[in-house]
Structure 1
Amino acid sequence: MSPVASPSLGRQALGSRLSSLFWRHPRLFTLLLLLPPLVWLGVVYVGSLFALLLQSFFSIDEFSGLINQEFTLSTYAELLRASNLDIIIRTVVMAAAVTLASALLGFPIAYYGARYARGRWKAFFYVGVMLPLWSSYLVKIYAWKMILSKEGILSWLAAKLHVSGVLDAWLSLPVVGGNSLSVSATGTFLVFVYIWLPYMILPIQAALERVPGNLIEASYDLGADPSKTFRHVLLPLAMPGVAAGSIFTFSLTLGDYIIPGIIGTSRLFIGQAVYTQQGTAGNIPLAAAFSVVPILIMSVYLWAAGKKGAFDAL
């Protein structure tokens, strides 16, 4: 055997032995495949969450502005102050409203895509749903800011339809209104729904496509009208998709700070509070405590969504 061919044959023999080992022990091969992402997840993600949780149990010295690294619950007690509690409630209410509106808008769209779109129309449907995701996140938000502004197309359309009085009356309301749609909670809500709606449509459509058509036909044959078929057959089977879509819309709204910073009033959301406390105020423990709030809320939400079979539709 020549010395040149020897290393090549050695590598082939090693590869053959490894292939045999992985064939005899498939779980070992799976473990080796999963080990790098698991290590990355454990070190970077779980490690950062642990550091965040640890910071939330510290406090900041009011006189020096330095972090006092002694275990305390005083930082979490600050979350119960009226101003901070108002931020948490506002964010959760907005996330729930966006999730509900996305489900109501997304269900009929997803039903059309699952039951009626075929062939080329199916491709057009997917393109139409995914198209908003192909453009820049910031570009979409600033485009909506122009649309919702006092000189925007919605105000112009309201004037043409002679319903400007209705729009002005809505904007005069204390909680949802403002000087214009672009500086109101209503505008924030509209942009949230627009941005996250595709994340609701696609899981619902996937769930609806799993519903056998003969179940709906059997419901009609047994004398059920369309409303009863929807309530007792279609909706229960589609609920895993609704729950899966709600995970996306609720969690993304809960943690977003860019949309409320560009469109809406000066009232803060949780994401903005974290950014402000960490960057401007330099109160890292309070920022960490604010960050823990969405984690706790989503933990409970994921548990409830899992009971509805949401993870079967992801």
Structure 2
Amino acid sequence: MRRKVPAGLLAAPLAWLGVAYLGALAMIFATAFFTTDSFTGAVVRDFSLENYREVFTATYLGIIVRTVLIAASVTVLCIAIAVPFAWFMARVVPSRWRGLAVALVLVPLWASYLVKAYAWRAMVQPSGVLDSTFGSTPGYGLAAVVLTLTYLWLPYMVLPVYAGLDRLPASHLEASEDLGAGAWTTFRRVVLPAVKPSIAAGTVFTFSLSLGDYIAVSIVGGKLQVLGTAVLQNNTLDLPFAAALGTVSVVIMVAYLLAVRRTGALDNL
């Protein structure tokens, strides 16, 4: 029988969440409706929709669409790599070695983010590792950003998918085989429904982290512009406009979470 957590113990963390997190978001939303004095650069606290009008011009709409496409591409690639990799960990690797396999997946997370990003810069640059080894390289730009972000966030997809596959009873797979189902049918009718919540949980990490990233984009993206870099560039020059761009990221992520929730994929986590 589970014990109920006393309400008093939850008061402090909830207060911290309300002040430090929700309070900060509220300040960002409020700042987005201010303007900047073009002469002094000071923030003018008069209500205005000018920032949002500029956000929805062709230039920034293109940046928003590009950012979402990058996040979606990274998420799809992480799923495509993580599912067979997690299957190998959960069903092929002997049980006594699975802890080691999980540890090896975690090892990249212990390395510095900047070290990993600059390592990919060395790989994709002209005359870099990929160019020297394969005779071609994507160079700095969109492809390099997608590859780098996929590498950075892949463990966040592998681990939940592995957990879902590890919980899948072997008897379900045996029953499917006994009923004459082939490998593809078993995967589609048995395995995929079982790990769907885990995949959905992983996409929340990969999509959100890719959506807000600007450091890796600055390192391997060349002149590529995404929401994160646009916010960074306007943070000191035009704080209210940077807040409006940041609000767009929050709205996109909230919409994504609501969409994932509506599928019911998160209900059984």
User: TM bucket by the smaller chain?
Assistant: over 0.9
1:146 partner amino acid: A
Match of 2:252 in 1: 297
Pair 1:218-2:175 in alignment: yes
Contact 2:156 2:205 in 1 (8 A): yes
Instruction: Measure the CA separation in 1 of the matches of 2:221 and 2:267.
Output: 33
Contact 1:240 1:310 in 2 (8 A): yes
Cα offsets for 1:206-225 (capped at 9, x unmatched): 11122221111111111111
Q: Which one has the largest radius of gyration?
A: 1
- For 1:181, what is the secondary structure of its paired residue? coil
1:148 deviates by: 1.6
Structure 1 residues 224, 119: CA separation in 2 closer, same or farther (over 3 Å shift)? closer
1:182 deviates by: 4.1
- Written as runs of structure 1 = structure 2, the 5 A alignment for 1:201-240 is 201-240=158-197
1:143 deviates by: 1.3
Instruction: Measure the CA separation in 2 of the matches of 1:108 and 1:187.
Output: 23
Match of 1:109 in 2: 85
Contact 1:239 1:308 in 2 (8 A): no
Match of 2:34 in 1: 58
Q: Please say which of residues 244-253 and 225-234 is displaced more in the overlay.
A: 225-234
Match of 2:70 among 88, 94, 100: 94
1:202 partner amino acid: L
Identity of aligned residues (%): 40
Instruction: Measure the CA separation in 2 of the matches of 1:192 and 1:154.
Output: 17
Match of 2:16 in 1: 40
Structure 1-normalised TM-score?
Answer: 0.81
Cα offsets for 1:100-147 (capped at 9, x unmatched): 000000100111112222344212211221111111111111111112
2:252 partner amino acid: I
- Following superposition, which runs of at least 4 residues in structure 1 exceed 6 angstroms of deviation? none
Instruction: Measure the CA separation in 2 of the matches of 1:53 and 1:311.
Output: 30
Contact 1:60 1:66 in 2 (8 A): yes
Instruction: Measure the CA separation in 1 of the matches of 2:56 and 2:39.
Output: 22
Instruction: Measure the CA separation in 1 of the matches of 2:197 and 2:268.
Output: 7
Could you list the runs of 5+ residues in structure 1 that have no partner in the other structure?
A: 1-25, 159-163, 168-179
Contact 1:55 1:288 in 2 (8 A): yes
The root-mean-square deviation of aligned C-alpha atoms, in Å, is 1.6
2:179 partner amino acid: L
2:249 partner amino acid: P
Match of 2:216 in 1: 259
1:183 partner amino acid: Y
Cα offsets for 1:265-298 (capped at 9, x unmatched): 212111111111012xx21111011111111111
Instruction: Measure the CA separation in 2 of the matches of 1:229 and 1:103.
Output: 18
Match of 1:150 in 2: 126
Match of 2:207 among 250, 253, 257: 250
Larger RCO of the pair (alpha carbons < 8 Å, separation 6+)? 2
Instruction: Measure the CA separation in 2 of the matches of 1:119 and 1:242.
Output: 22
